[in-house]
Chain A
């Protein structure tokens, strides 16, 4: 009987949030030993469906069978008891504890005495078995994002999960780390595990999945497609219900005067280690400078230094000839630096405050929102109502707390806020990360619109496609240095070289190490 070979069988799952039907009678099958990709735009209901399977949400109706047995999953504990483990997009780890401690957290064993060495050994063994290389007695805060993801995986494996749900696992990873993850996932499938791979990235899904199910607006638009029977274009159509332009059109435009000048800047990261090393570049009016690089090579610190959130240890940043580095963040804001932060929820918004409050996060101290010492609530509301309509922020009202907004909506809110300030310079950090195809296109169009209006744009992204597609020039950052710069029109041809430079490889294959920096010559294209 074919039923017996199904690891998971979900039938007619309905999950409703206020105002939204997140899952509308969804059927989903996961076979034993397959990687099943769940594809869809943000808000299509992928994560919701899998949260139901992981016991986080309880569906309004519908049935779930796990290995043929009817299952009622009331909590993550129920789910894990049936061998279902989910690795969330936002990791659930305790930073000050070690890898092993995190894995043991919440388990019945060990009871009182930790006997850590014993368990460290077990964890190491498990890691070895699945190729998940991570030091079991490292503290979690010391680990890279990729390593933390491995800890999450180990946590689930240690609990005996044979059905693994990965929620957008590649969103936080660098290209090489993605390759590593894919190897691990294939290895796990070979060991008999079954994997649900949630993603909205077509390329990845085509590469890793055995079968693909597409969700759109809470409904299944295609179930169990084989990658060989479909194409990226076909999947995109199923996802968004209309043909997608994979390329936003960019008109050629001569750059204006230099707006931003970064001169020999060095700075430290939060751990007190060198993050930027003598970095220099300029961005001109009406130009997009793309900073390509693997996350953690100084991009975040670069944005911090320019916006005044971090001090330089050397060098300075000039905006239209005036120093803005090592000065309070307000100076940069007042001089017209817009900033789309990398971390939308931790930095870019205040979760419990309303949409209105978040839209006036910077404008509250300027007329017309400011009136004398007070905030003109009427004006703020009018402003917010207008912005909500113009930027299509979907929410019941402008009084809704932003923690209820989806990622795409929140990003539109942040863009609305930053663009409405009429910035002369825009620092766009990972502006489309975690967004669905439709939203990505919208954000990219807005950036190009800004460019046309003469704003200088610094675009930091890990999506090479995005960088290549949008930038007039591309600079590659590696270990806090610009290791190369390529003119926009040559980017497509030089893609491989950019990719190599991002990993610290120069053309001749030598690694640009941090240890002997002076011995390496910086590769520069014609700027």
Chain B
């Protein structure tokens, strides 16, 4: 065994120090996790900047322009919040499921079914257009929640009873939901042959800030709608559920060690179904909020992949509902800024780099990196 030894000693001689990566054997300090995330974000911006420089742009200028386009004044910031709203709700949906290690990647489909169910209230119609706005919106929200919950229930039931992999079922059901929606906008609710439903009556619109411009002039032209408030309340409630409630304790325990959860007398099958339903319901609510607050009709292109963005947002927020809020705003801003810059792929690229850096940075929480002086011998 002489050859490998000499080879390794040669390698050793190259540098005066070496980098040692060791698994951590004790708790990480509290401040480390946010610091590492922040570092990863900065690194992502630097990497993105290099790409920008390579394609001939000025990184600083581009970033400034993007920042202005998303956060520059109240008008664009309001638009950013509009984009952030569905992302927030989808991010919450994914955070909840991921806490229990249920890989719900079907928020997109649940979003569509929520949008469909909320539309059905107006278009079937379940309620006449003259219904008071409050009642109308409440029923629509409920319908949206239930629509999404149904789309979560099916994979949840299959997982709980037959141990069917939820990654496959939720993914597949995305396509069913989108086709289901298409069927209705092409055939049933189509307005004069266009692939969209008629515009909802005014009572089915979530109020916007701009609606109150007469009372508060500052609100003039601001598109932010009540869905945002819905999302913030949902974030608060979900935080309490996950971090303070008994049910949240069960979810966390099951996520960490299902066998210990079973041993502790927790009904895993029931929780699987409930978590999938609540997760689907939150994504469904995002769908309702989007059609009722933004597009005001059911149509095909209501989501540029909010459900999938929700997955990323949930991960970046480390599955903490309160952190989902700022991360959603960041991503809402990125979507908005993406429209302002050419090539428009830059924003998506940046999203990808951010995700990559943040997920890679997890390594630093599990392992400790030391630089040690190379020893002879």
Contacts and interface: CB of A to CB of B under 8 A. Distances in A.
Interface of A: 17-19, 58, 70, 72, 78, 81-83, 160, 307, 309, 328-330, 332-334, 339, 341, 346-353, 357, 360-362, 364-365, 370, 373-375, 377, 396, 399-401, 404
A58 B20 CA distance: 10
The 10 closest A-B pairs by CB, nearest first: A330-B265, A18-B26, A350-B256, A350-B257, A333-B265, A329-B265, A361-B264, A350-B260, A374-B244, A347-B259
Contacts of A329: 262-265
Contact of B263 (A81, A334, A348): A348
Nearest to B263: A347
B70 to A, nearest CB: 36
B245 A373 contact: yes
B259 A346 contact: yes
A401 B257 CA distance: 13
21 contacts: A17-B25, A58-B22, A70-B377, A81-B4, A82-B1, A328-B265, A329-B263, A341-B263, A346-B257, A346-B259, A347-B263, A348-B260, A353-B253, A357-B249, A361-B264, A364-B246, A364-B249, A374-B244, A375-B245, A400-B26, A404-B26
Contact of A357 (B8, B240, B253): B253
A236 B72 CA distance: 74
B25 A81 contact: no
B375 A72 contact: yes
B27 interface: yes
Contacts of B1: 81-83, 160
B328 interface: no
Contacts of A307: 263
B27 A404 contact: yes
Contacts of B245: 373-375
Contacts of B247: 373
B27 A396 contact: yes
Contact of A349 (B260, B267, B377): B260
Contact of B246 (A70, A82, A365): A365
B338 to A, nearest CB: 37
Interface in B214-261: 240, 244-249, 252-253, 256-257, 259-261
A307 B259 CA distance: 13
A374 B244 CA distance: 6
Nearest to B4: A81
A95 B363 CA distance: 27
Given A72-B377, A348-B260, A375-B246, 18 more contacts: A17-B26, A19-B26, A78-B8, A81-B4, A82-B1, A330-B265, A330-B266, A341-B263, A348-B263, A350-B256, A353-B252, A361-B253, A361-B260, A364-B246, A373-B246, A373-B247, A375-B248, A399-B27
B244 A375 contact: yes
Chain B interface extent, by class: 20 to 34
Nearest to A334: B265
B74 to A, nearest CB: 38
Nearest to A18: B26
Contact of B25 (A365, A377, A404): A404
A462 to B, nearest CB: 21
Contacts of B266: 330
B260 A81 contact: no
B254 to A, nearest CB: 9
A230 to B, nearest CB: 34
A469 B27 CA distance: 39
B131 to A, nearest CB: 33
Interface in B22-43: 22, 25-27
A402 to B, nearest CB: 10
Contacts of B257: 346, 349-351
Contacts of A401: 27
A307 B263 CA distance: 8
Contacts of A78: 8
B5 interface: yes
A357 B267 CA distance: 18
A81 B265 contact: no
A329 B264 CA distance: 8
A332 to B, nearest CB: 8
Nearest to B258: A350
Interface of B: 1, 4-5, 8, 20, 22, 25-27, 240, 244-249, 252-253, 256-257, 259-267, 375, 377
Contacts of B25: 17-18, 404
Given A83-B1, A396-B27, A347 B246 contact: no
A406 to B, nearest CB: 12
Nearest to A352: B256
B256 A351 contact: yes
Contacts of B256: 350-353
A396 to B, nearest CB: 7
Contacts of B27: 396, 399-401, 404
A94 to B, nearest CB: 20
A328 B4 contact: no
A375 B244 CA distance: 6
A309 B263 contact: yes
A357 B25 CA distance: 19
Contacts of A330: 265-267
A328 B253 contact: no
Contact of B265 (A349, A357, A362): A362
Contacts of A396: 26-27
A10 to B, nearest CB: 15
Nearest to A360: B249
Contacts of A347: 259-260, 263
Contacts of B263: 307, 309, 329, 339, 341, 347-348
Q: Which of B1, B259, B263, B265 has the most CB of A within 10 A?
A: B263
Nearest to A333: B265
A396 B25 CA distance: 13
A361 B180 CA distance: 43
Contacts of B20: 58
A240 B253 CA distance: 36
Nearest to A404: B26
A509 B244 CA distance: 61
B22 A362 contact: no
A504 to B, nearest CB: 30
B267 to A, nearest CB: 7
Contacts of A309: 262-263
Nearest to A341: B263
A280 to B, nearest CB: 25
A78 B12 CA distance: 13
Nearest to A160: B1
A417 B100 CA distance: 23
Contacts of B264: 329, 333, 361-362
A199 B242 CA distance: 43
B107 to A, nearest CB: 25
Nearest to A366: B246
Contacts of A350: 253, 256-257, 260-261
A377 B20 CA distance: 39
A511 B237 CA distance: 64
A373 B5 CA distance: 62
Contacts of B261: 350
